[in-house]
Structure 1
Amino acid sequence: MAFKFFDKLSQDFAELLNDKKEYNVVIEVDKEENMKSFTTHSVVLRYRLPYFDKELENATTNENHIKTIIKPNISAQIFEIILKYIYGGIVNIEDTDTKTIYELMVNADELELKELSVKLENYLIQSKASWLKTHFSFVYHSIFDSDKFKDLKKFYNDIIVKYPNLIFESEDFTSLQETALISILERDDLNVEEIKIWDYVIKWGIAQNPTLPADSKEWTKGNFKALKITLQQCLPLIRYFHIPGEVIWKKMKPYKKIFEEQLWDDMTQYFISPNEPITSLILPARIISNPELPSRVNEPFSTIIKNEHVAELSSWIDRKSTTYSLSNIPYEFKLILRGSRDGFHPKTFWNMCNGHVGTIVVAKVAGNDEIVGGYNPLSWDNSTSTSTRMCAKDSFIFSLKNGNIKNSILSRVKENDNALRYFDSNEQNVYGPLFGNCEFMMRSNVSDFTQDKQCQCKYMESPIFQIFYNYEKPIRKTIELFSIVDYEVFKVI
């Protein structure tokens, strides 16, 4: 039998990172204005990060036999995380923004830390799919020409085929590099109407020429020439002969000057006399299919909320000032639990939601049109030994417009340390999800949320008592407890 003490070993090595007595390597990272030095140990670097073997051989040595390695392209924040991983085998990204996690993955791969880069790649795909979708251009152009990150590439290829609007309507679409855009336009299975593809290509081309007048009627011959040069690799990939003639006349004629004369003449002739021969190449029509859509549009995906609610909740998750359109929702709501299907015992909630990260709870209040709920960015955990307050800075609770309820209410957490409460096994027979200090709570003394009025959305009539709220504002305007008709929990992916 072998006794293993990895936790203590990890702790001791992590403390070694702060030892200023025996270090023999200094690593300087980040740009000059943010440059930071880290003291390290060559023996640890060689065995835990073989990438530094050559770096150590070529590093300059001072009179105290200290070697210096300079890495200006890695930020101090990211390198500190990497060093903690090298020394202690622990990476804590709980409070780290998604862009930093992505850059950490890229840097870990560059430093040949395969274990870490693969772990982060899987984490981003499984837990940050929405961020990957809304930052398509930022991520895709950096991995497009690489033979690495194969799972990320598959993730994006699936999106390109099934949900191309998430790419073309993303905030950073116009920053997409030309080679990546060309690779998308070359696809026969791009599930978008051709005239819309034309619109997106023109939008991208104009964005690359910021000095063009806003009104194309004011463009000079030189303006059209600049746009033509910008789009010279993209224009031949448009399937012009599969666009209705009246649409070409309306949408493409204003840009006639960027076309080759022969192509424009052929398009005109084709739609007047389609059986007459033409010189220009006719590309095949794209395959416009109806792919299996996310559960959010496969009714009935929910007995409580509608697609409009999904769009609103998605915009709140992403802290958008406007609500996503139904065609551009970056999330899929995957049903984990439905009370009317799986039961209303509080324990059922803890058992079925255990381990799920990033979930929406929605509950239909008995006796009226109210829909209340909350978003938990953390992982639900049914194994706590005592009642535990949970810190979650992105949590929020809400009431959704429905029936006689004309306006939705969003209430974000303001006391992060008391965003949620997890319960021990005995309390899980009574309590379901609890946000804040009962600002949204599902509870039943008879172990059935539909049978006794014990659920609550805390409300205090006097504004002076708002200091007792852990969330910005109440989501119901009554002190009455309530039971529910049904409730659902969705994993947001």
Structure 2
Amino acid sequence: MLFKFFDKLSQDFSELLNDKKECNVVIEVDKEENMKSFTSHSVVLRYRSTYFAKELENIAANENYIKTIIKPNISTQIFEIILKYIYGGIVNIENIETKIIYELMIIANELEFKELSEKLENYLIEYKASWLRTHFSRIYHSIFDSNKCNEFKGLNQFYNDIITKHPNLIFESEDFTSLQEAALISILEKDNLQLEEIKIWDYVIKWGIAQNLTLPTNLEEWSKENFKTLKVTLQRCLPLIRYFHISEKDIWEKLKPYRKILGTQLWDDLYQRLFPNQPVKSLVLPARIISNPELPQRVNELISTIISEEHVAEISTWIDRKSTIYSLTNVPYKLQLILRGSKDGFQPKTFWNMCNGHADTVVIAKVAETDEILGGYNPLAWDNSKTQDTYMETNDSFIFSLKNGNIQNSILSRVANKSCALEYSGSNNQKTFGPCFGECEFLLQSDVSDFTKDKECWCIYDSDHFYEKSIRTTDDKFSIVEYEVFKIVKM
């Protein structure tokens, strides 16, 4: 009979973490004012982590036989979790922000805690898929930029599935041109990449040019050396283009200007297409398998640059005035996108035109230069036919700030003066003013008719107004980098 007492063992070792006797290792984490020192036992570190075993082997002790390890890239919060795992084998991620869980996974991998890293990776894929999709570009870049694509195989497969079905998510992202070559190649190798070949060619050329900032902006000014530079940059990417599945028109319009990077044989073979049944010497790759797949409806709803599935659950809870936040599997609403700034434009008039007549809507805005996500819920129909500014009455509207990044907690502020819950702009002001909740408690405004260009948006910092409390801690005006308007639909 074998008896195992792992719980008691874990408890005893967890208590050892707080026992400073015989500690002979100091670990300094974080930077500058956030830096903190932790004490530990070398024997525990060595047997729990091959990483720390190697570190301790290469560090000399001071006169008091203490060794110091410095890890400025690890935050205090994350290292406290790591230490509890080292000593007690326990990690509690309940009520921890998803961003921190992701960073914990990265650090666990760096410190060679494979079981912890894999457990967190599986957790994120299974339970935080919407967050992973929301932060697609950032995470995909970080995995490949750190050459960890072979270590995070689950995430790599997760994102490759998304890229295959929705390649524009990566190709049209702001930081596409900073993508590592290995990542771009892995995308180009996919036989079922759902994108026309000529568009793939355009993106590859765009990426190659971006890697060489000295290339002239006008192609007519390019020298022989300029083309040679681009060809060298793209030497591993060019063979992956399916040239013989590009239309004749696109070959002459899009490929011909860059024929010097293709090589004489390939260009001659492409020219041969004008003469049917003529053999070619170049390698002919098969056409990509275009199936126009659709992701499940829940996924399409949440491909957003701003909010996550957790945010949807929180907003739904507020709409229904529940005291407990809905679980992710029990959210009674879905969001239907009406407007997205980066797609439809940031002009105030666009808001009034596209949202006119829509009731039960939520406006979400991401503030420039901060982690703030601000918004408001309007149960009434937006109306662009007002001839003058008009206050609208409702008991059910609210404004909010969502937990995100450095914002530790969400803020909910319900309407306090129902007669002035919202202000609808008259036709003369719709070129300047977008949605306005209360008396500027949440307002999108621009004097140059673009919410991203001037700092005129405002959440007035004054409790003596039409909503319960302010959703910001400053009275400063701001611009936004993105905003979306969704219709709330009962499932």
Same fold (TM over 0.5): yes
- Matched to 2:401, the amino acid is V
Please state if 1:86 is matched with 2:86: yes
Verify the 8 A CA contact 2:231 2:261 in the aligned structure 1: yes
**Alpha-carbon shift at residue 40 of structure 1 (Å):** 1.4
Where do 1:86-485 residues align within 5 Å? 86-87=86-87, 89-91=90-92, 98=99, 101-125=101-125, 126-127=127-128, 128-135=131-138, 137-142=140-145, 146-270=149-273, 272-295=274-297, 314-317=304-307, 353-354=326-327, 369-373=358-362, 394=373, 396-399=375-378, 404=383, 411-413=399-401, 419=410, 435-437=412-414, 464-465=464-465, 468-471=468-471
- Matched to 2:227, the amino acid is F
Verify the 8 A CA contact 2:416 2:468 in the aligned structure 1: no
Change (3 A) 1:467 1:458: closer
Change (3 A) 1:263 1:58: closer
Percent of aligned pairs with the same amino acid? 51
- Matched to 2:326, the amino acid is C
Verify the 8 A CA contact 2:417 2:466 in the aligned structure 1: no
**Alpha-carbon shift at residue 460 of structure 1 (Å):** 7.2
Give 3-state SS (helix, strand or coil) of 2:38's partner.
Answer: strand
1:42 alignment counterpart: 42
Change (3 A) 1:109 1:195: same
Please state if 1:62 is matched with 2:62: yes
TM-score of the superposition, structure 2-length normalised?
0.63
Verify the 8 A CA contact 1:164 1:190 in the aligned structure 2: yes
Verify the 8 A CA contact 1:439 1:459 in the aligned structure 2: no
2:390 alignment counterpart: none
Change (3 A) 1:71 1:402: same
Verify the 8 A CA contact 1:396 1:412 in the aligned structure 2: yes
In structure 2, distance between residues paired with 1:137 and 1:414: 24
Give 3-state SS (helix, strand or coil) of 1:27's partner.
Answer: strand
**Alpha-carbon shift at residue 227 of structure 1 (Å):** 0.4
- Cα deviation, 1:220-266, whole Å, max 9, x if unaligned, reads 22111100111111112111111111111111222122120121122
Change (3 A) 1:141 1:296: same
Change (3 A) 1:401 1:233: farther
Change (3 A) 1:168 1:461: closer
In structure 2, distance between residues paired with 1:172 and 1:346: 38
In structure 2, stretches of 5+ residues that fail to align are: 337-356, 365-370, 387-396, 419-435, 442-461, 473-486
- Cα deviation, 1:117-141, whole Å, max 9, x if unaligned, reads 1343134333222244222541341
TM-score of the superposition, structure 1-length normalised?
0.63
Verify the 8 A CA contact 1:414 1:470 in the aligned structure 2: no
Verify the 8 A CA contact 1:27 1:39 in the aligned structure 2: yes
In structure 1, distance between residues paired with 2:76 and 2:313: 40
In structure 1, stretches of 5+ residues that fail to align are: 299-306, 319-330, 340-344, 376-391, 421-434, 442-456, 473-485
Verify the 8 A CA contact 2:134 2:305 in the aligned structure 1: no
**Alpha-carbon shift at residue 413 of structure 1 (Å):** 2.0
Q: How many residues align?
A: 393
Change (3 A) 1:86 1:488: farther
**Alpha-carbon shift at residue 459 of structure 1 (Å):** 5.2
In structure 2, distance between residues paired with 1:410 and 1:231: 52
Please provide the CA RMSD for this pair: 5.1
Change (3 A) 1:124 1:397: farther
In structure 1, distance between residues paired with 2:468 and 2:414: 8
In structure 2, distance between residues paired with 1:42 and 1:80: 17
**Alpha-carbon shift at residue 395 of structure 1 (Å):** 6.5
- Matched to 1:261, the amino acid is T
Give 3-state SS (helix, strand or coil) of 2:377's partner.
Answer: strand
In structure 1, distance between residues paired with 2:132 and 2:44: 35
Give 3-state SS (helix, strand or coil) of 1:206's partner.
Answer: helix
In structure 2, distance between residues paired with 1:264 and 1:285: 18
**Alpha-carbon shift at residue 414 of structure 1 (Å):** 8.7
Verify the 8 A CA contact 2:438 2:467 in the aligned structure 1: no
Give 3-state SS (helix, strand or coil) of 2:23's partner.
Answer: coil
In structure 1, distance between residues paired with 2:72 and 2:150: 24
Verify the 8 A CA contact 2:314 2:326 in the aligned structure 1: yes
Give 3-state SS (helix, strand or coil) of 1:224's partner.
Answer: helix
Deviates more, 1:226-235 or 1:171-180: 171-180
